[in-house]
Amino acid sequence: MSPADGGGGPLAGVRVVELGGLGPGPFCGMVLADLGAEVIRVDRPAEAGEETRHPVIHRGRTSVAVDLKHPEGAGAVRQLIAGADAVIEGFRPGAMERLGLGPDVCLAANPTLVYGRMTGWGQDGPLAQEPGHDINYIALAGALHAIAPTGGDPVPPINLVGDFGGGGMLLALGLVSALLHARTIGEGQVVDAAMTDGTALLLAMTYGFLSRGDWEDKPGVNLLDGGAPFYAVYRCADDKHVAVGAIEPQFYAALLGVLGLSQEPEFARQRDRETWPAMKGRLARVFATRTRDEWAATFEGQGACVTPVLSLAEAAEHPHNIARGTFRRGAHAGHEPAPAPRFGATPAGEPLPAPVIGAHTTEILAKATGLTRADIETLRERGVVG
């Protein structure tokens, strides 16, 4: 069972071994744990006994601390993987093979295993061995170029697009798909999830627009990149912002009606790009006359697709998000996103806090590998486990 209150969720009964890593791999592990999978994270012995620095993304796990570079440590983890349904690793291509934990070895011992590999560039290709981060992967996939104001420099979208949308979420989908195949056919496989591939996939609609001439290959001049005056962000009198998404004619009409601009001639041709700069300037001047919250109150219930741009802290306190339970209070005394999506028949339990690193080493290794507690204590004294 997942370490969650009630142990529910659609993935209850699925065991996943997560081999350390940062960012997208742990995010994938969090998503699977939120949905009910039992996720066992393998951490480094040097950090055993410490609180994790990532209390949200490491929630819902158990943790064992094992030195993968030590032959006995790698052997113990091989036995752990032999009893698992899936494994997640996020090291450079070839690293797991050098440790004796590559997919060939693991699948030979567990033929129905799903072996998930998370990298930036993929398992092959000219850049496979090059280092990189989210910003590099989304740059090469074309996404970063498209996220910029007119005439301005590209703006990194935190690390949402590469690490999490094109990385960890893609790997989670790949693992669940391969698990379904394994349970249906009885055959395991390797899932090669690369952040460049995933970012490109997220651009599917944009590439579709580009191919039919509905998108200019430069930022800040298109329908969905801030170029359209009715799909943009505007600064208010208090230097906070509102987001306008009035794409469809009825929402555009509602926007103009609330702002008193329905009769102004420059707004008569919504999709005429020649008029967009003038329209945008006029809207900017209007929104600058009131505060963000005044505009939010004015547009409430008007069906104009205008919302306040909230900070992280404000979003957690918004009445809609409170009513939905979109955020929850974590054990670290702050807000954190609640598990999503929601399931009618198999609701997920409340995830438990991220464990102290190595907190479950003895318990899990004794159960999964056949090592006695005395054996594990000997390995601990030699630094193999923590």
Instruction: Give the model's pLDDT for residue 8.
Output: 83
Same domain, 303 and 332: no
Q: How many domains does the chain have?
A: 2
Sequence-separated (6 or more) residues with CB below 8 Å from residue 353: 55, 59, 330, 331, 332
**Higher-pLDDT residue of 5, 347:** 347
Same domain, 115 and 198: yes
Of 282, 308, 334, which residue is a domain's last? 308
Same domain, 168 and 289: no
Find the catalytic residue in 54, 70, 133, 241: 133
Same domain, 53 and 163: yes
Q: How large is the average pLDDT for residues 143-153?
A: 95
Find the catalytic residue in 43, 67, 134, 163: 163
Domain containing 56 — which CATH number?
A: 3.40.50.10540
Same domain, 31 and 177: yes
> Three-state secondary structure along the chain?
CCCEECCCCCCCCCEEEEECCCCHHHHHHHHHHHCCCEEEEEECHHHCCCCCCCCCCCCCEEEEEECCCCHHHHHHHHHHHHCCCEEEECCCCCHHHHCCCCHHHHHHHCCCCEEEEEECCCCCCCCCCCCCCHHHHHHHHCHHHHCCCCCCCCCCCCCHHHHHHHHHHHHHHHHHHHHHHHHHHCCCEEEEEEHHHHHHHHCHHHHHHHHCCCCCCCCCCCCCCCCCCCEEEEECCCCCEEEEECCCHHHHHHHHHHHCCCCCHHHCCCCCHHHHHHHHHHHHHHHCCCCHHHHHHHHCCCCCCEEECCCHHHHHHCHHHHHHCCEEECCCCCEEECCCCCCCCCCCCEECCCCCCCCCHHHHHHHHHCCCHHHHHHHHHCCCEC
Residue pLDDT, tens place only, 307-328: 999 999 999 999 999 999 999 9
pLDDT for residue 5 is more than 90:
no
| Mean residue pLDDT across the chain | 95
133 labelled catalytic = yes
Same domain, 288 and 333: no
Same domain, 31 and 142: yes
Residue pLDDT, tens place only, 180-193: 999 999 999 999 99
Structure tokens belonging to residue 253: 């009409």
Sequence-separated (6 or more) residues with CB below 8 Å from residue 339: 9, 34, 35, 348, 351
Same domain, 37 and 163: yes
pLDDT for residue 251 is more than 80:
yes
Whole-number percent of the chain with pLDDT over 70: 98
Residue pLDDT, tens place only, 43-59: 999 999 999 999 999 99
Same domain, 294 and 189: no
Predicted confidence band at 333 (pLDDT cuts at 50, 70, 90)?
low
386: in domain: no
Same domain, 23 and 164: yes
Residue pLDDT, tens place only, 11-41: 999 999 999 899 999 999 999 999 999 999 9
Q: How large is the average pLDDT for residues 125-147?
A: 97
Owning domain of residue 333: 4-202+326-381
CB 95 within 8 A of CB 24: no
Residue type, 31: V
Same domain, 146 and 82: yes
Same domain, 268 and 344: no
317: in domain: no
Residue pLDDT, tens place only, 80-127: 999 999 999 999 999 999 999 999 999 999 999 999 999 999 999 999
CB 88 within 8 A of CB 167: no
43 labelled catalytic = no
222: in domain: no
